[in-house]
Homo-oligomer: A and B are copies of this chain.
Amino acid sequence: MARRGGYAKGIAKREEILSTALDVIARHGYRGASVKEIADAVGLSQAGLLHHFGSKEDLFVEVLRKRDEHDTAVALTAFAERGITGALDAFVGVMRANADVPGLVLLYSALAVEAADPDHAAHAYFRDRREIFRAALAGGIRQMQDDGALDAHLDPDTLATAIHALADGLQVHMLIEPGLDMAGVIQHVVGALRPEPRHDEGGRA
């Protein structure tokens, strides 16, 4: 487990480790991002690194958790300022932004799969996150249906599940086809689910 409390030096080092880990993943791939490699990059021994985060898994989960905090803050602000449509735009915008952070998509996808193991540190993270995200998404869908911005025949829960899965699936595919315009694909599909007058927004693979 990550050590609690912390001197100024430790807190700073922890931050440095979190961002350096992403760099190392981006440069060496997920397989090449060993504890030794990350430790070298921040100028620590392996044991020194593991002092800050109890395990490699914990470190990686922490990277995602921190990114989540930032992302949800962005989405909530957009919702407060521009309502549900703003939140949807923010969601797509966040995806677009995260896609440009090298290593992040790779880390997210890798952990999402490893988290299948109930003993994995990321298991609880993904389970909880999935539930929260889907509930929020389903709520937004319902609201858009009330506003007439989305086909009323659709089941909000099923559609929320689908959109979340679509987003995660696109990230996996992006690993093999880096040019993939994830946000564009999502916009195209969501745009197709409007009730009558189809907007026809772009987005090619």
Number of copies: 2
What residues of chain B lie closer than 8 Å to A31, measured between beta carbons? Answer: 114, 117
CA A198 – CA B134 in complex, angstroms? 24
What residues of chain B lie closer than 8 Å to A56, measured between beta carbons? Answer: none
CA A145 – CA B1 in complex, angstroms? 55
Closest-by-CB residue of B relative to A115 is B176
What residues of chain B lie closer than 8 Å to A101, measured between beta carbons? Answer: none
CA A152 – CA B205 in complex, angstroms? 18
CA A112 – CA B176 in complex, angstroms? 9
Q: Is A205's CB under 8 angstroms from B134's CB?
A: yes
Question: How many residues of chain A are within 8 Å of chain B by beta carbon?
Answer: 52
Interface positions of A from 14 to 63, Cβ below 8 Å from B: 29-31
A2 to chain B, nearest CB (A): 22
Interface positions of A from 154 to 194, Cβ below 8 Å from B: 154-155, 157-162, 164-170, 172-173, 175-177, 180, 184-186, 188-189, 192-193
Q: A residues bordering B, Cβ < 8 Å?
A: 29-31, 106, 109-110, 112-117, 123, 126-127, 130, 134, 151, 153-155, 157-162, 164-170, 172-173, 175-177, 180, 184-186, 188-189, 192-193, 198, 200, 203-205
